[in-house]
Chains A and B, each alone.
Chain A
Amino acid sequence: SQELEQSPQSLIVQEGKNLTINCTSSKTLYGLYWYKQKYGEGLIFLMMLQKGGEEKSHEKITAKLDEKKQQSSLHITASQPSHAGIYLCGADTGNTDKLIFGTGTRLQVFP
């Protein structure tokens, strides 16, 4: 059974548009990590959320954690071509610090 679901699976937006990616866990979240990945490369850490209601921002990317819903959202404001890539959420479900990852959301931003 899928423990961590991301939606949408892919997203194509025009430069300048806002977008939101969602990540929902079927298990209790002890921490939620967002990473970005360029095709075939390693994961780049974006931010970590641990407390219910926590919200963090870095440049034009904001992530929120809804502990009760076991859900996190990643919002990009005024998207740019440099935002293109695969966004992955990873959940710490309290089991030896290992992360369970979603299948990713592929984002394309066209000029």
Chain B
Amino acid sequence: EAGVAQSPRYKIIEKRQSVAFWCNPISGHATLYWYQQILGQGPKLLIQFQNNGVVDDSQLPKDRFSAERLKGVDSTLKIQPAKLEDSAVYLCASSSPGPDTQYFGPGTRLTVL
């Protein structure tokens, strides 16, 4: 069974530029999560989708971050414009609905110069 796929693996941009990350969850997983992990910290949830609906986006900086999951399968996370403090690893995870194990992708390491 294929795991959670993410791309790109690495991205370097200058501040004020835009960037987008892509995630394809495990087949059949209705719930998809985006986390931000700053160096030395644990992952912090940015947004949670169930199918194509948003369940929780309370910690998403909506002035610059946006995410969508239009067809309820793959998802895109965008940052526009990026700031230096956005440098982090962006992790995507998926699970079946309910209290089920979240499986993580390899992450995208973003460096903002």
Interface residues of A (CB under 8 A from B): 4, 30-31, 33, 35, 40-45, 48, 50, 88, 90, 92, 96-99, 101-104
Query: Within residues 1 to 34 of chain B, which ones have a CB less than 8 A from any CB in chain A?
Result: 4, 6, 31, 33
Among all A-B residue pairs, the 8 with the closest Cβ atoms: A101-B42, A43-B104, A42-B104, A42-B106, A42-B107, A101-B43, A103-B42, A98-B45
What separation, in Å, do the CA atoms of A40 and B91 have in the docked complex?
Answer: 10
**Which of A31, A42, A99 has a CB less than 8 Å from the CB of B105?**
A42
Q: Which of B33, B97, B99, B106 contacts A92 (CB 8 A)?
A: B99
State the CA gap A50–B104 with chains docked (Å).
Answer: 20
Nearest neighbor of B43 in chain A, beta-carbon distance:
A101
For window 78-113 of B, CB contacts with A under 8 Å fall at: 89, 91, 93, 95, 97-107, 109
Q: How far is the CB of B101 from chain A (nearest CB, A)?
A: 6
**A30 CB, nearest partner CB in chain B, Å:** 7
